[in-house]
Amino acid sequence: MGDFKLYYRIGMAAEKNILLDESIKDTYHGVAVGANVAAYGKTWVSQFLKTLSKPFFVDPQTHAFQTSRDFILKNDGMKKSYSTLALEYGIERIALGDKRELVPEDFDAQEDVMKFVKSTMEFQRKLIPPVTGSQKSIFEYAEILGYDEEISKVEEPEFLIAPYFYFRNTEDPWYNVNLHLMDCAKELFSESEVYVVICTEKDVLLEKKEIDIIVDHYSDINGIILWFSDFNELNQEKEILKSYIRFLRKLSSKDIIAMYGGHFSILSSKFGLNGISPGIGMSEYKNVTHRVTGGVFSNRYYIPQAKTMVVEADARSFYLDHPADLCKCNVCGEITKNASSDPNEFFTQLTPELAKKHYCLCKAAENRYIQERPLSEITENLKGDFNFCEENIDGIYNIKYRHLEVWLSVLEDIVASQVK
Ligand SMILES: [Zn+2]
């Protein structure tokens, strides 16, 4: 495998500075942009992507027009970002005129399907306005002079994503709509790299028959983005995680990316997962129908040993008793150097932006470690983290870590079966 791709989702404009920061820029592969953000902030998003000059993809978020309209409504109408998107996608008659959700029957006519696929994918492709003639000659000139690395050439997404909808199981009419959309996308964009999104319930993973049907239907596509609704790695039972790994292994000839994902997903790179696309230090999972709220997030800090985010007050009380265990990444190391390793002072100086940079550095370190080491060694290391949490956190601090025990038991089973 070797190369596991970390994409970060951009939402608020504030994340721009973190992602552009020279000390962070090399810690991740690329960015994921929600189509609603792209539609609403077209100018800044395309400017940002050009300046960043790293791979990106656009999540078309077509499912938003399928689920309950609450999802995209504001007090007096549809959120501006989604009404802009409805216009871009050519579904304004339904979404804004009739004020209703999309239904599978909307995709009965081949002509409507083709139009929808075209508009949703062209939107991704043309997010960055095409280079004009004069700009093109600047590129060529720069290339002759050997400056090609300094001028951004990123113009198109790394891959295009076919429009997708959530399906409950393979008998759900939406499942067939997705297959139809995939076929049209491959036909219309045969020159491009076309990926699809499998957006469903994690229970599907437990049904062998369902898995076989899906693996068979998606055999002819290069890339798949997986989104199991509410798949919080910290709360999953062992059986679900093992089924998830079995599923990944069946798809392993493809480029498989998790729509969100945390540490367990990085571990899953050993079984065929090729990337994740969470928010920076947030949204490692998401419910498909969850209402998008712009609420204030409390300051959170990633605890490297427990592989989880906690509110700052909980991190503070833990490190006050364990100052020697404060993180030593470049960001945290810099603060402790200035704040004479007093945890109180440390958290006073830790801005939300620094906390997110710490998250990026931790993820990059986890990724590097997991790609370089064999599974047996990674398992031993995870055991070390679990023991650390048992000894130092158990019952005293409000930091979750029991998930480590579940993950460990999943990995140990796999290591044992490989030895046999
Ligand atoms: Zn750190």
Q: Which of 93-97, 128-132, 370-374 has the lowest mean pLDDT?
A: 128-132
The SS3 of residue 58 is strand
Q: Which two tokens stand for residue 269?
A: 């790179």
Q: What is the pLDDT of residue 292?
A: 52
In the chain, what are the domain boundaries? 5-276, 303-419
- Cβ atoms within 10 Å of 8's Cβ, excluding its own: 25
* β-pair type (73-74, 77-78): antiparallel
5-276 under CATH 3.20.20, yes or no: yes
- The alpha carbon of 391 and the centre of ligand 1 are apart by a number of angstroms equal to 21
Tokens of 70: 């609450």
Q: How far is the CA of 21 from the centre of ligand 1 (A)?
A: 16
Measured CA to CA, the distance from residue 173 to residue 324 in angstroms comes to 56
For residue 351, the CA-to-ligand 1 centroid distance in Å is 12
Is-contact 199 63, C-beta < 8 A? yes
Q: With the C-alpha atoms ordered 27, 32, 36, 41, is the resulting torsion angle positive or negative?
A: positive
Amino acid at 48: F
**Residue 330 C-alpha to ligand 1 middle, in angstroms?**
7
For the chain, what is the mean pLDDT? Answer: 91
- Averaged pLDDT, 356-365: 97
- C-alpha 359 to ligand 1 mean position (Å): 7
SS3 342: coil
User: What confidence tens digit (pLDDT) does each residue in 52-65 have?
Assistant: 999 999 999 999 99
- 92 versus 339: which is more confidently predicted? 92
pLDDT in tens, 136-178: 666 666 666 665 554 556 689 999 999 999 999 999 999 999 9
